[in-house]
Amino acid sequence: MGLFSLFQRHRTFDHGIYPVEHKELTADKPIRRLPFAPELVIPLAQHKGAPAVPLVKVGQEVVRGEPIARAEGFVSVPMHAPATGVIRAIALTPTADGPKTQAIFLKVYEAASQEVLYDLERDLDTMTSEEIVAAVQDAGLVGLGGAAFPSHVKLKPPAGKVIETVVVNGCECEPYLTCDHRIMLEQSDALIRGIKLALKATGAKRAIIGVEDNKLDAVAHLRAVLPKDLPITAEAVETKYPQGAEKMLIKSLLRKEVPVGGLPADIGVAVYNVGTLAQMGDLLPRGRGLIERVVTVSGPAVANPGNFMVPIGTPLRFLLEQVGLAADRVGEVILGGPMMGMAVASLDVPVTKAVSGVVALEREDPDLDRRKVYPCIKCAECLKACPVSLNPSMLGELALARQYERMAEEFNLNQCFECGCCAYVCPSNIPLTQYFRIAKSINRDRNA
Amino acid sequence: MPKPIEIRTSPHLKRAISVDRIMRNVVFALLPICAFAVFQFGLSALLLILTTTGAAIATEWFFARASGQGNTVSDWSVVITGILLALTLPPGFPLWMAAVAAFVGVALGKALFGGLGYNVMNPALVGRAFVQAAFPVAITTWTPAFAPGRFTEVIPSTFTLPFMQPTPVKDWIMGLQLDAWTGATPLALQKFQQIEPPVTEVFTGMIAGSAGETSALLILICGLWLAFKRMLDWRIPVAVMAGAALTALPFWLMDSSVYPSPWFVLFSGGLMLGAWFMASDMVASPVTTSGVILYGLFIGIVTVVIRLFGGLVEGVMYAILLANAAGPLISSWTQPRVYGAIKKTREVE
C-alpha cells in the first residue's frame, strides 16, 4: 500500500475490516507436492448435504483415483481414493466439526506407483449443460473456498431463475491464505477451462473474476492469458475482509445485493471459487475425481510455510511435521483462515475437500490479558464493521437477555454469516460471533 | 508433538485494542487541558481535579465491590468522569462540594444503572447537574484567570467546610488589586450586559470560566487527536458545533447587538468541552451513524436555545443530558438498512 493507492480505489462493499494479512509468508511459494502420509482418513461427510455411501470393504485394494463412495442423492458427491493402497477400516474419526464422523481409513502402499489410472477422456465442446452438471457431480467436486457445497448444484439454476453472470471468487480475503493466489498464477489454463464449463452449464452471458488488489500480479496474469473472444474479465477489488464472502463480492463487482433470505441466483448470479473452477477444468476433460487440493500451511508456529498439493485425507499431524511445527509455541491449529476457520482439538483430523488452509497460531502471552471481557461501551465499532449492516451491539445485548427470537425477527439475526468482523473489532472482547452462532442454532432447534 | 493447547471459536484474531486502552487515551487527551487549567487558575484547580478524580475512584471502587463486580477502576472510565467533572466546575469551587458532585455522578449516574456500559447519561454531567441545583451560588462564583500568587495560595472558597457558606471571593479578589476583574465569565457578560469579549480571547482561553472549559483551541486540538486515533466519533462534535452555529446564525444576523455571533457561541462556555468530550461519550451516545448526527445537532440546537432564551447563561449540560436520555430512541429510529433489504425492516417500537 503506497500513497498511490489513495488515488486508485478499487471497487468494494460497505464496512468491513482490515486485519493484518500475513500473506507474505507464502504468497511467492509455488505449489509443491509432499510425500504421502502412511494412512489417509477420508470422512464420508466432507460436503454440505447427505454423506457419501462407501463402495468398498475392509481389506479391499484400491487404485488412486478409483471411486470409493457414491453420492447419496442430488445434494451429495462421491469420494475417490486419494492414493493406491488397501482399506484398513471404515470407522469413526474426529473432524473439525467436533462429533466423530464415519470415515474410510486407507493404508497407502509405499512402493506403488501413485499415478492416476482412472481416465475417461471427454470432449468438452460437445457436452450439454446436463452432461456437465452430471460430470461435475461424478468428479466429487465441492466448493473449495471452504463452504464445501456440492458444485454441480450451483451449476443448475433453480427453476424459473436465469443466470446472467458467473462471478469467479479469487479474493481470498482470509489472512495467511494464498492457495487461490497461487492457483490463479499457476493453473490459469485449467481455471479458464473451468470458467468456460460454468458459463456453458449455467447459460450465463459473462464471467467476472474478482481478485483483491493485494494480488495485482494475478490480475495482470489473468488479463494476459484470458482469451479475447470469450466474455471473461478480471477485476481488482479492494483488499478488505470479508471481500471473499459471495454477497460482498457481488456487491463490489455488480453493485447489486442478494435479497434478504434469497440466493445469488435470485439476481441472476452464480459464484464459484477459483480453486473449484480450476479443479473443474482439470478433472472434467479427463473424467477424474477430486483426490487432492491446494492447501496453504502457514502461521507463526510453522517453520517452513508454503502452498502444497495435499491428498484428501492427509492427517494434520503428518502435514505439520512436513513443514516443521514449533511444538512448544503452537497455541491453536485452525482449518481454513483465522477469521472464519475452526480450531481443531486433535491433530488426527484429516484435510478434507473444504480445507483451504492450515494455520498454526502461537500461544498467547498469558500476561497480555487481552481477552478480558468488558461490558459493551456502545462504541459502535461493530456497526461500522458489519458488512451486512447489522447492529451487533444490540444483538449482543439481546443474546445476553436470551431474546433469541427477537434477534431474528427485529434485528435480522439470520443475515449474519458469522464473518467475525464484529468480534474482531470489539474493544470489550465480547464474543459476539459466538453469541450469534448460538442464538441461530437455538432458533433453528426451536423452529424445527 | 503435543496436542494443540487452545480451542476457541472464530474469529481467532482480534484487533489489539481494548476498553481500558481507549479510556486511557481519553485520559491522556484530557491531561493538557488539566495542565492549562492549573496554569491558569493555580493550586485551586489542581486540588479540584485531584478531589473529583479521587472521590470518583473511591465511589466506583466502593460500588463495584458492593455489587460484586470486582475491580472496575482499572478500566479507567471513572478517571475520565472525575477529570471531566472538575473541568466543568469553577476553579474556586469548595472541595467538599466537588467531592459530593463526584459521588453523586458515579453513584447515581453510573453505579445505579449497573456500571460501565449501562449508564444512560454522562456521569460527570449528572454530578454537575446535582451540584448546580444544590449549590447554585458556589457554582456561579467565578475567579479571575492568571491571578498573581495562584501557585502559592488557594482561592479562599476552596477549603470551605462542609455546610458552611463559602468565603466570599470578592474580598480576596479585591486584595489581589485586580482592576479589570468584572466578576463574570464571557457568557454572562454577553448575556446580561451585551458585552462580547474578543473572539480571540475566548478562543484561546485567556479569560475567566470553569476550570477546564476556557481554551477552545486546546480542547479542539486534544479532541482532534482522539478523533484521529479513532477513539472518538468525529461526527458528534462536528454535529454539535454545526447545530449550535446554525441556530445562532439567524439571530445574530437579525440583531448583532443583542445576540452573540456564531463564533462566540462555539468558543465560549462549555460548548467545546461538551462537544468533544461529553457528548462524544460512547456509552451515552447513540450507536448508529445517522443517529449520532441527529444527536449532535440536537445538542447544538438545544444549547443555543437555552443560552439565548433561558434563564441560565450556559445550556450545554442540560442539552447533553436531554440528548443522552433520547439516545436509545434515536438509535432505534436510525437502525441501518440491512444488506439485501428492500426497505427498512425495523419499525419503531
Quick: pLDDT tens for A374-397: 999 999 999 999 999 999 999 999
Nearest CA in chain B to A419: B11
- In chain A, what's the furthest Cα-to-Cα distance? 65
The average pLDDT across A293-309 equals 95
Strands (DSSP E) contained in A196-268 are 206-212, 232-237
pLDDT at A117: 78
The average pLDDT across A311-339 equals 91
How many H-runs (helices) and E-runs (strands) does chain B carry?
14, 0
Cell of A227: 482469451
Q: Decide if pLDDT at B2 tops 60.
A: no
pLDDT at B343: 58
| Cβ contact A221:A194 at 8 Å | no
Could you tell me which residue, A327 or A88, shows the higher pLDDT? A88
Nearest CA in chain B to A326: B1
Mutate to test the interface with B, among A374, A409, A416, A424 (most CBs of B within 10 A): A374
Q: Decide if pLDDT at B185 tops 70.
A: yes
Quick: pLDDT tens for B267-286: 988 899 999 999 999 999 99
Mean pLDDT of chain A: 92
Quick: pLDDT tens for B303-312: 999 999 887 7
Q: Phi and psi at residue A103, in whole multiples of 5°?
A: -145, 155
Count of CA atoms in the C-beta half-sphere (13 A) of A3: 0
CB pairs under 8 A between A and B: 175
pLDDT at B176: 66
pLDDT at B348: 47
Q: Phi and psi at residue A435, in whole multiples of 5°?
A: -55, -45
Nearest CA in chain A to B338: A389
Q: Which residues contact B55 (CB under 8 A, 6 or more apart)?
A: B82, B98, B99, B102, B103
Quick: pLDDT tens for A211-268: 999 999 999 999 999 999 999 999 999 999 999 999 999 999 999 999 998 999 999 9
Quick: pLDDT tens for B230-240: 899 999 999 99
| Cβ contact A199:A164 at 8 Å | no
pLDDT at B318: 94
| Cβ contact A50:A72 at 8 Å | yes
Considering only CA atoms, which of A321, A308, A324, A311 is closest in space to residue A347?
Answer: A321
Please answer yes or no on whether A433 and B11 come within 8 Å at the CB atom.
yes
Nearest to A343 among B8, B19, B22 (CB): B8
CB-based contact (8 Å) between A347 and chain B? yes
B338 to chain A, closest Cα gap in Å: 5
| Cβ contact A194:A298 at 8 Å | no
Q: What is the percent of chain A with per-residue pLDDT over 90, rounded to a whole number?
A: 82
Rg over CA atoms, chain B: 21
For residue A116, what pLDDT band results from cuts at 50, 70 and 90? confident
For residue A175, what pLDDT band results from cuts at 50, 70 and 90? very high
pLDDT at A1: 43
Considering only CA atoms, which of B156, B139, B138 is closest in space to residue B147?
Answer: B156
Q: Which residues contact B117 (CB under 8 A, 6 or more apart)?
A: A374, A375, A376, A377, A378, A428, B283
| Cβ contact A302:A320 at 8 Å | yes
Q: In whole angstroms, what is the distance from residue B141 CA to residue B139 CA?
A: 6
A253 to chain B, closest Cα gap in Å: 15
| Cβ contact B43:B150 at 8 Å | yes
**What is the 8-class DSSP label of residue B229?**
T
Please answer yes or no on whether B288 and A383 come within 8 Å at the CB atom.
yes
For residue A210, what pLDDT band results from cuts at 50, 70 and 90? very high
Could you tell me which residue, B169 or A150, shows the higher pLDDT? A150
Nearest CA in chain B to A258: B340
In chain A, what residues touch B284 (CB-CB under 8 Å)? 378
| Cβ contact A117:A67 at 8 Å | no
In chain A, what residues touch B21 (CB-CB under 8 Å)? 427
Quick: pLDDT tens for A59-70: 999 999 999 999
Q: In whole angstroms, what is the distance from residue A286 CA to residue A120 CA?
A: 5
For residue B349, what pLDDT band results from cuts at 50, 70 and 90? very low
pLDDT at A235: 94
| Cβ contact A343:B6 at 8 Å | yes
CB-based contact (8 Å) between A391 and chain B? yes
**What is the 8-class DSSP label of residue B276?**
I
The average pLDDT across A70-83 equals 94
Its pTM stands at 0.90
ipTM (interface pTM): 0.89
Nearest to B233 among A380, A388, A428 (CB): A380
Considering only CA atoms, which of B310, B244, B322 is closest in space to residue B285?
Answer: B322
**What is the 8-class DSSP label of residue B277?**
I
For residue A8, what pLDDT band results from cuts at 50, 70 and 90? low
Q: Using CB atoms and an 8 Å cut-off, which of residues 20-49 of chain A contact chain B?
A: 20
Quick: pLDDT tens for A329-381: 888 899 999 999 999 988 899 999 999 999 999 887 655 555 788 999 999 99
Quick: pLDDT tens for B119-168: 999 999 999 999 999 998 888 888 888 888 788 888 878 888 787 777 67
Q: Decide if pLDDT at B347 tops 70.
A: no
B283 to chain A, closest Cα gap in Å: 5
Q: Which residues contact B255 (CB under 8 A, 6 or more apart)?
A: none
Residue listed under C-alpha cell 489454463: A189
Quick: pLDDT tens for B75-85: 999 999 999 99
Q: Decide if pLDDT at B23 tops 50.
A: yes
Sheet hosting strand A79-80, strand order edge to edge? A53-54, A67-70, A79-80
The b-or-e profile of A60-87 (16+ CB within 10 A means b, else e) is: eebbbbbbbbebbeeebbbbbbbbbbeb
Q: How remote is the C-alpha of A428 from its chain's centroid?
A: 30
**DSSP string covering A412-448, please?**
-GGG-----HHHHH-TT---HHHHHHHHHHHHHHHH-
B196 to chain A, closest Cα gap in Å: 38
| Helix A188-202 / helix A274-283 crossing angle, nearest 10 deg | 90
Q: Decide if pLDDT at A84 tops 60.
A: yes
| Cβ contact B299:B274 at 8 Å | yes
A122 to chain B, closest Cα gap in Å: 41
Quick: pLDDT tens for B86-105: 999 998 899 999 999 999 99
For residue B184, what pLDDT band results from cuts at 50, 70 and 90? low
Cell of B293: 448526527
Residues, chain B = 349
For residue B183, what pLDDT band results from cuts at 50, 70 and 90? low
Q: Phi and psi at residue A22, in whole multiples of 5°?
A: 60, 20
Local structure of B307: helix, strand or coil: helix
